[in-house]
Chains A and B, each alone.
Chain A
Amino acid sequence: DQQVKQNSPSLSVQEGRISILNCDYTNSMFDYFLWYKKYPAEGPTFLISISSIKDKNEDGRFTVFLNKSAKHLSLHIVPSQPGDSAVYFCAATVGGSNYKLTFGKGTLLTVNP
């Protein structure tokens, strides 16, 4: 049973436009969510996180939104740049057992010049 789902394997957007990556989860105990970005031949790089006590967190061009009632989060990238082209993983964890990150399968974002 996949507890963290990224239903879009890939997404293509034009440079300068908004990229929206989605993630759904089924475990209501999750209370901390993270987004990682991964380039080929590199390890995942932490991008942004959000606690379940918030519904939005911003860091520059990146904003994560959390809708707890829908068990849904999304990552918005505005404006998108070609260097943002990578695989994006959504991950979730339960506070107190935060060692265990549960990952989605990832979404490949391609930003076209």
Chain B
Amino acid sequence: DADVTQTPRNRITKTGKRIMLECSQTKGHDRMYWYRQDPGLGLQLIYYSFDVKDINKGEISDGYSVSRQAQAKFSLSLESAIPNQTALYFCATSKGGGAQETQYFGPGTRLLVL
């Protein structure tokens, strides 16, 4: 079984709709992250969380919100989706506590906003 899972894997929605993307991990990691990737570009950090009570904005948080329901779960919401939020979304985790850490990624959610 995958260590980091994302649901749904694909989603089509309409402008103005609220949508939630979910991420679960079985790695026992404290830190979780949400990234988006646009075609031909690298990954950009949306939000990150170092533990259940900690939420922080990343580079491109406008239009997004997150919820850390448990150590293993981190969800990303688009309150009112717009077409330029069409992208590939990745969740990632890392162990925490180290000076130099590796982040481990889920398989991604492909979102299309019409």
Contact = CB atoms under 8 A, between A and B. Distances in A.
Given A99-B33, A99-B48, A89 B42 contact: yes
Contacts of B102: 34, 46, 49
Which range holds the interface residue count of chain B? Answer: 20 to 34
B50 interface: yes
Contacts of B72: none
User: Which of A34, A46, A98 has the most chain B CB within a 10 Å cutoff?
Assistant: A98
Contacts, number: 60
B100 A95 contact: yes
User: Which of B4, B41, B50 has the most chain A CB within a 10 Å cutoff?
Assistant: B41
B64 interface: no
A42 interface: yes
Nearest to A42: B107
Interface string B84-114: 0000001010100011111111111000000
Contacts of B108: 41-43
Interface of A: 4, 9, 31-32, 34, 36, 41-46, 49, 51, 89, 91, 93, 95-96, 98-106
